[in-house]
Amino acid sequence: MRRDHPSAGPTWSLAARLTACYAATSFLLVLLSSGFLYRVLVNNLDREDDEFLADKVRILQALLWEKPDDAQALRQEVEWERRASLPERYKLRVLDDGGTTILESPGMSDLLGPNLFPEPPAFGHALGPGVDVRAPGGRSFRVLTARAAVGPPPAVARVLHVALDRTAEEELLTRYRARLWIVLTLAIALCAAAGHQIARRGLRPVAAMSETASRIRSTSLRERFELPGLPAELFLLAGAFNEMLDRLETSFQRLTQFSADIAHELRTPVNNLRGEAEVALDKTRTPDEYRDVLGSCLEECERLARLIDSLLFLARAEDPQTQIERRPLDVTRELETVRAMYEATAVEAGVQWTVVADCAAHAELDRALFHRAVGNLVANALAHTGPGGSIRLAASFDGAALRVEVSDTGSGVPPEHLRKVWDRFYRADAARSGESGRTGLGLAIVKSIVTLHGGSVEMTSEVGRGTSVSLRFPLSRAPDD
């Protein structure tokens, strides 16, 4: 579909849609109100003409009733417009019961033959509304037919045909309609122009926002949308965008810092490798000397490999697609396994061990990752605890979570470093740890493993007394009691 195609441009602009809707709505309103007014005008004219014709009929009916023999009065009524020198608009015909014309306005039969008139209503029935007819010459008439009684009973019946020339009215309406169309055409143009202006004014903040957005690059992530003066809807949108930019800026800064740290960390082993090789090639050496150089090169390579492995692990852990393989673990047993892995080092360092675990400590965890996290903590504890010190591994349930704690009686971490030790490449004792081959990624890896399990980490420490790191793993299912 067109909309799904990545190269498809926007369809109708918002301004065009608003303009079209506004213009269509206003034009419809103008059209409806003009149509209504026109209809009212036509109805009024019809009613006035009908009243005029009905008046005439009533006058004639009265005349025929009261003065049945006064032909002169009847003739005067028929010819009153001509006598008053008025334009002759009104026509009248009197017919007998059999349909023979007794009297009519001059020239009426040429214009309006009796067949153009409808049947008259029976005596006692109300007069109907007039009927519009068109005379052979093109002139338009409103006609009415009625019955009249000549004198008191036994009366003779007459039929009255009255007609009113409406040609002038019709021309007036034709002119009115023509002007109405002109007004409507102007109205649609004006509505479209006004709608366009309104839409443009309303969307000006959107244009300003898109201009700001188009300026933002990875190098100018500090830029933000101006919030004051924005309409309420856009205020929320721009606020959300600004928050998104805050997050992006922080992530970018972290990435930049991370890249710089990686370069820095890689530089030392690579420089060492190059230095060793240069010294070895400086002059001819004995086989033992070559062996030494190769040995230290191998050490540097191992250090590099460890660093790259840690970086890869962190990169994978950050991928939202990364899945962990949870399976039920007997946490006590797993802690004993980790202890066994580091037993030799502990003995060498003269450090005591204790593993204190709730015997029902079962949880669904990724075994390899759990080992790696606890192993890193144990390695840290061993590295910072001198001979005679002790390390304690503990596991317990805390509500709906498993809490694993690694505590030592070592050197401790100064309070100013406590929050930062979880950052990548951060080493509280950077000067000493450089040469020991530690990279400062151990706790970052621990944190990402716990995060992959949906948990949290915490470190408490006192300089000279020891450190305690606690990992909290929420349980996906309740432990068996």
Ligand X SMILES: Nc1ncnc2c1ncn2[C@@H]1O[C@H](COP(=O)(O)OP(=O)(O)OP(=O)(O)O)[C@@H](O)[C@H]1O
Which of 205, 269, 410, 455 touches ligand X (CB under 6 A)?
410
Q: What is the nearest approach in angstroms of Mg ion to the Cβ of residue 457?
A: 13
Q: What is the nearest approach in angstroms of ligand X to the Cβ of residue 452?
A: 17
Q: What is the nearest approach in angstroms of ligand X to the Cβ of residue 390?
A: 12
Note whether 401 and 475 are within 8 A (CB). yes
Q: What is the nearest approach in angstroms of ligand X to the Cβ of residue 266?
A: 14
Residue nearest ligand X (C-beta atom):
442
Note whether 393 and 355 are within 8 A (CB). yes
Q: Quick check: 195 binds ligand X (CB under 6 A)?
A: no
Which of 441, 449, 457, 475 touches ligand X (CB under 6 A)?
441
CA 222/CA 173 separation, integer angstroms? 68
3-class DSSP state of 267:
helix
Q: What is the nearest approach in angstroms of ligand X to the Cβ of residue 388?
A: 16
Note whether 300 and 273 are within 8 A (CB). yes
Q: Quick check: 467 binds ligand X (CB under 6 A)?
A: yes
Nearer to ligand X among residue 86 and residue 312 (C-beta):
312
The CA radius of gyration of the chain, in Å to the nearest whole number, is 52
- Restricting to residues 397-436, which ones interact with Mg ion according to CB under 5 A? none
Q: Quick check: 433 binds ligand X (CB under 6 A)?
A: yes
Q: What is the nearest approach in angstroms of Mg ion to the Cβ of residue 384?
A: 9
- Restricting to residues 353-382, which ones interact with ligand X according to CB under 6 A? 376, 380-381
Note whether 374 and 338 are within 8 A (CB). yes
Which of 199, 338, 413, 450 touches ligand X (CB under 6 A)?
413
Q: Quick check: 408 binds ligand X (CB under 6 A)?
A: yes
Which of 380, 385, 409, 461 touches Mg ion (CB under 5 A)?
380
Four-point Cα dihedral 263, 308, 470, 458, nearest 10: 20
Nearer to Mg ion among residue 205 and residue 375 (C-beta):
375
Stretch that binds Mg ion, among 44-52, 203-211, 351-359, 376-384 (CB under 5 A): 376-384
Q: What is the nearest approach in angstroms of Mg ion to the Cβ of residue 439?
A: 8
CA 172/CA 167 separation, integer angstroms? 9
Q: Quick check: 269 binds ligand X (CB under 6 A)?
A: no
DSSP 8-state secondary structure symbol assigned to residue 136: T
Residue 467's nearest CA partner among 395, 350, 371, 389 is 389
Q: What is the nearest approach in angstroms of ligand X to the Cβ of residue 422?
A: 7
Which of 104, 170, 249, 429 touches ligand X (CB under 6 A)?
429
Residue 455's binding partner among Mg ion, ligand X, none (Cβ under 5 to 8 angstroms by kind) is none
Residue 217, phi-psi category: left (phi > 0), alpha (psi -120 to 50), beta (remainder):
beta
DSSP per residue over 275-340, as a string?
Answer: HHHHHHHHS---HHHHHHHHHHHHHHHHHHHHHHHHHHHHHHHH-TT-----EEEEHHHHHHHHHH
Q: Quick check: 440 binds ligand X (CB under 6 A)?
A: yes
Which of 421, 449, 450, 475 touches ligand X (CB under 6 A)?
421
Q: Quick check: 310 binds Mg ion (CB under 5 A)?
A: no
Q: Quick check: 384 binds ligand X (CB under 6 A)?
A: yes
Q: What is the nearest approach in angstroms of Mg ion to the Cβ of residue 432?
A: 13
Nearer to ligand X among residue 234 and residue 428 (C-beta):
428
Residue 236, phi then psi, degrees to nearest 5 = -65, -45
CA 418/CA 411 separation, integer angstroms? 13
11: Cβ contacts below 8 Å, ≥ 6 apart: 2, 3
Residue 300's binding partner among ligand X, Mg ion, none (Cβ under 5 to 8 angstroms by kind) is none
Which of 442, 453, 461, 472 touches Mg ion (CB under 5 A)?
442
Q: Are strands 466-474 and 401-408 parallel, antiparallel or unpaired?
A: antiparallel
Nearer to Mg ion among residue 332 and residue 380 (C-beta):
380
* Cβ neighbours of 218 (radius 10 Å): 10
Q: Quick check: 299 binds ligand X (CB under 6 A)?
A: no
Q: What is the nearest approach in angstroms of Mg ion to the Cβ of residue 433?
A: 9
Q: Which long-range contacts (CB under 8 A, 24 or more apart) does 253-262 make?
A: 258/424, 258/425, 261/424, 261/425, 262/311
Burial 269-281 (b: 16+ CB within 10 A, else e): beebbeebeeebe
CA 463/CA 432 separation, integer angstroms? 17
Which of 15, 112, 329, 443 touches ligand X (CB under 6 A)?
443
Stretch that binds ligand X, among 165-173, 270-278, 344-352, 425-433 (CB under 6 A): 425-433
Nearer to Mg ion among residue 161 and residue 438 (C-beta):
438
Nearer to ligand X among residue 141 and residue 342 (C-beta):
342
**Residue 263, token pair as written in the block:** 């370069």
* Total residues in contact with ligand X, by rule CB under 6 A: 23
Binding residues vs ligand X (CB under 6 A): 376, 380-381, 384, 408, 410-413, 421, 426-429, 433, 438-444, 467
Binding residues vs Mg ion (CB under 5 A): 380, 442
